Amino acid sequence: MNTPFTEEPAWEVVVVGAGPAGLTAATYLARFRRRVLVLDGGPSRAEWIPESHNTPGFPHGVGGPDLVARMRAQAVAFGAVVRPGRVDSLEAATDGLRLDGTFGTMEVPAALLATGVVDHLPPIPGVEAAIRDSRVRMCPICDAFEAIDRRIAVLTDGDLGEREAAFLRTYSADVEVLRIGEAEGCPGMQIALEDLRLEAQGVVLRRGGQPERRFDHLYLALGCAAQSDLAVAAGARQDELNNLIVDAHQMTSVDGLYAAGDVVRGLNQIAVGVGEAAIAATAIHNRLRGAG
Ligand SMILES: Cc1cc2nc3c(=O)[nH]c(=O)nc-3n(C[C@H](O)[C@H](O)[C@H](O)COP(=O)(O)OP(=O)(O)OC[C@H]3O[C@@H](n4cnc5c(N)ncnc54)[C@H](O)[C@@H]3O)c2cc1C
């Protein structure tokens, strides 16, 4: 892919990432009448969501793909341009930022990174399909309510598992931590991944000589990788989990480079990401009109 973006009018803002944060920022910027380009590097994390029940405005729930499609349509309706494209590097330039990627090279006065995180998935056959139908889950804050009184296993390779289990025990009395790898000193039942099988009705644990255990849901507590490398290589500060550190206007420590959503330190939630996007987009607009 090598789209000649240079044929377009000069962009005032480039938004990197087409998930809830990037698309919300695009809607705001388009409504501020900015020439905004969204680079869509692939599926949003939200596209894993079978049905979200905590997204504001959807009392009967909304599927992740449907939500992302609505957000994209809203941004495009006001004039944002969304194109496939990945950014490979970015750096400070004389009048803003220079971006390199599948589209070639571009210089823009300001950019917003909304690149999210990538979840660590275990190599269990069928795990992706099981996430899509909610047998396997990744976010107790998102969907523990839909696991009330269910039999729950939490799969971990460190101490995150016990913290998630403690959270889940306020919803169910039947929560077991299953530990893989060499997480010395961490609580939980040591298992091998091969002991776990995903079946139509849930998850089965079979360990030699032990009675079979069945769970309705398997929560993954294996962490994720913040997609912050681009910003960090340009000099942006990050925390110990590689999440970007931003100021009150969502600007990273690189002048003109803003960030919103899961890639930023804080709660990985749609409501948080769209709030950060609204703040970032407004700050970018004020900066471009010389008022910020
Ligand atoms: C199974 C599951 C269920 C969930 N349920 C809920 C829920 O019910 N409620 C809730 O609030 N949250 C939920 N979440 C979390 C929610 O999905 C995230 O908080 C949300 O998607 C974050 O949005 P974002 O825009 O920051 O990042 P993302 O949605 O991850 O989007 C990131 C975008 O950046 C792009 N990108 C990355 N790198 C580059 C690059 N170099 N160049 C160009 N593009 C790039 C990606 O391709 C993608 O388009 C759930 C998550 C999972 C996995």
User: Using one digit for the tens of pLDDT, what is the confidence trace for 74-122?
Assistant: 999 999 999 999 999 999 998 899 999 999 999 999 999 999 999 999 9
87 lines ligand 1 (CB under 6 A): yes
102 and 142 fall within a common domain:
no
Verify that 55 and 113 share a domain, yes or no: yes
Answer whether residue 5 shows pLDDT above 60: no
User: How high is the pLDDT of residue 2?
Assistant: 40
Q: Report the nearest-CA residue for atom 44 of ligand 1.
A: 41
Is the C-beta atom of 262 inside 6 A of ligand 1?
yes
Domain end, chosen from 221, 250, 278, is at 221
**Angle value at C-alpha 278, between 273 and 280, nearest 5 degrees:** 90
At 181 the pLDDT is: 82
| Residue 183: predicted pLDDT | 67
Amino acid 250: pLDDT: 98
Task: Name the domain boundary from 221, 256, 271.
Answer: 221
| Cβ of 18 below 6 Å from ligand 1 | yes
Between 3-12, 74-83, 157-166, the lowest mean confidence (pLDDT) is in 3-12
How many domains, in total, are found in the chain? 2
What is residue 186's predicted lDDT score, i.e. its pLDDT? 74
What confidence score (pLDDT) does residue 245 get? 98
Q: Is the pLDDT of residue 3 over 70?
A: no
Number of C-beta neighbours around residue 128 at 10 A: 11
Average pLDDT of span 199-225: 94
Same domain for 251 and 179: no
> What integer pLDDT is reported at residue 188 of this predicted model?
86
Instruction: Name the residue of 45, 90, 127 to mutate for ligand 1: max ligand atoms within 8 A of Cβ.
Output: 45
Residue of 65, 64, 11, 14 whose CA lies nearest to 40 = 14
146 lines ligand 1 (CB under 6 A): no
Last residue within a domain, chosen from 170, 186, 221 = 221
- Closest residue (by CA) to atom 6 of ligand 1? 142
Q: How far is the CA of 8 from the centre of ligand 1 (A)?
A: 28
Nearest residue to 134 via CA among 52, 66, 224, 222: 52
164 vs 222: CA distance, rounded Å: 11
pLDDT at 28: 98
Arithmetic mean of pLDDT, 230-249 = 97
Q: How many angstroms separate the alpha carbon of residue 138 from the centre of ligand 1?
A: 12
Out of 102, 136, 270, give the residue to mutate to test ligand 1, the one with the largest number of ligand atoms within 8 Å of its CB: 270
Confidence of residue 208 (pLDDT cuts 50, 70, 90): confident
Q: What is the pLDDT of residue 292?
A: 67
Amino acid occupying residue 28: Y
pLDDT digits 0-9 by tens, 17-57: 999 999 999 999 999 999 999 999 999 999 999 999 999 99
Q: Distance, CA 95 to ligand 1 centroid (Å)?
A: 30
Both tokens of residue 186? 């961490």
Domain that holds residue 176: 121-221
- The answer on 132 and 274 residing in a single domain is no
Question: Quick one: pLDDT band at residue 206, thresholds 50, 70, 90?
Answer: very high
Do 272 and 180 fall into the same domain? Answer: no
Mean pLDDT of the 207-226 span: 94
Q: Ligand 1 pocket test: which of 49, 135, 243 has the largest number of ligand atoms within 8 Å of its C-beta?
A: 49
